[in-house]
């Protein structure tokens, strides 16, 4: 895996093209009122400017569900376009979830828990890597769009024009497989009651260790949003669910709490491991505000 380590100067920026007022207008339009995001996002932009060469580069954004990956990625695109003049777009790991039919087949053939999207094994990583390779080559490409409210892919795919910078957003980017011994003890009720023999979590771990998953994490700059605890992940993901359109397949509180359990094992491992491995870690408090960086 390719990692560069930068000294991040919080609150300063190389480029003078976007002042605080301009940034605040963009941020407020996306529901961001935390002033520390100004320094964080412009610092990431600076690192892009420092390493940008001829070929497209990839900025990875990872973090637990509800941590704010999509918002951060969208803001990065806005700032990179306006500050650096870069052709920039977001590519989301979530859009590469396998179809509902494929996951239902996995539930029959491998383990019932694979019917639920989220963990490694429920993404089409070979397809994602083909799209990334096409973008790296400067080509026009297309990718699927996943409809979370319907829990399935849309029929129409999205076109991506040639880019200077791709912001790749995905919750488990950069995660590494766990030792076999760490898989023996369940981390929550879901694993204890529905995966008592550990068959599901071992298969998830094997998928995470695969070349396809690890290659997709091979970004030029890696940014990790570190959540304070799993309870915050639950609260933030519930808020996201409640913001879905009326009539959509919306999970209730119990559903969200179970859903988060699918992500818990890898999220806990990432919180221990990634701050020491990625270029930039943004630490969040329980109010969803930035409290520091590494």
The tens digit of pLDDT for each residue in 60-74 reads 999 999 899 998 999
Region of poorest pLDDT, from 21-25, 87-91, 110-114, 194-198: 21-25
Answer with the residue of higher pLDDT: 125 or 243.
125
The tens digit of pLDDT for each residue in 206-217 reads 999 999 999 999
pLDDT at res. 254: 92
Mean pLDDT for the stretch of residues 17-33: 73
- DSSP H/E element including 212: helix 211-216
Where does the chain have alpha helices with state H?
20-29, 36-51, 69-79, 100-109, 125-136, 189-194, 199-209, 211-216, 230-242, 253-273
Mean pLDDT for the stretch of residues 268-278: 95
CATH for 20-293 is: 3.40.50.300
Report residue 15 as tokens: 């480029």
Any idea where the domains of the chain sit in the sequence?
A: 20-293
Enumerate the β-bridge partners of residue 293.
Answer: 282
Indicate the pTM of the whole model: 0.88
């Amino acid at each position: 895996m390719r990692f560069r380590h930068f000294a991040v100067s919080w609150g300063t920026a190389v480029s003078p093209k976007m002042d605080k007022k301009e940034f605040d207008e963009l941020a407020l339009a996306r529901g961001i009122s935390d002033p520390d995001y100004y320094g964080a996002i412009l610092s990431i932009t600076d690192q892009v400017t420092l390493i940008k060469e001829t070929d497209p580069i990839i900025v990875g954004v990872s973090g637990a569900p509800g941590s704010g990956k999509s918002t951060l990625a969208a803001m990065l695109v806005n700032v990179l376009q306006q500050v650096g003049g870069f052709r920039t777009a977001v590519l989301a790991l979530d859009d590469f979830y396998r179809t509902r039919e494929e996951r239902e087949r996995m539930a029959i053939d491998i383990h019932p828990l694979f019917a639920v999207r989220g963990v490694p094994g429920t993404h089409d990583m070979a397809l994602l890597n083909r799209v990334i390779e096409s973008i790296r080559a400067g080509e026009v490409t297309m990718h699927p769009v996943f409809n979370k409210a319907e829990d399935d892919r849309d029929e129409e795919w999205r076109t991506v024009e040639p880019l200077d910078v791709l912001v790749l957003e995905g919750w488990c980017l950069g995660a590494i497989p766990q030792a076999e011994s760490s898989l023996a003890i369940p981390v929550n009720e879901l694993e204890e009651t529905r995966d008592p023999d550990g068959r599901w979590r071992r298969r998830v771990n094997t998928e995470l260790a695969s070349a396809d998953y690890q290659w997709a994490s091979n970004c030029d700059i890696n940014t990790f949003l570190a959540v304070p605890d799993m309870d915050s992940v639950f609260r933030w993901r519930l808020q996201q669910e409640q913001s879905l359109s009326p009539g959509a397949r919306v999970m209730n509180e119990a559903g969200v709490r179970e859903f988060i359990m699918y992500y818990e094992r890898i999220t806990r491992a990432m919180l221990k491991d990634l701050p020491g491995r990625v270029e930039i870690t943004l630490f969040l408090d329980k109010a969803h505000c930035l409290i520091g960086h590494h």
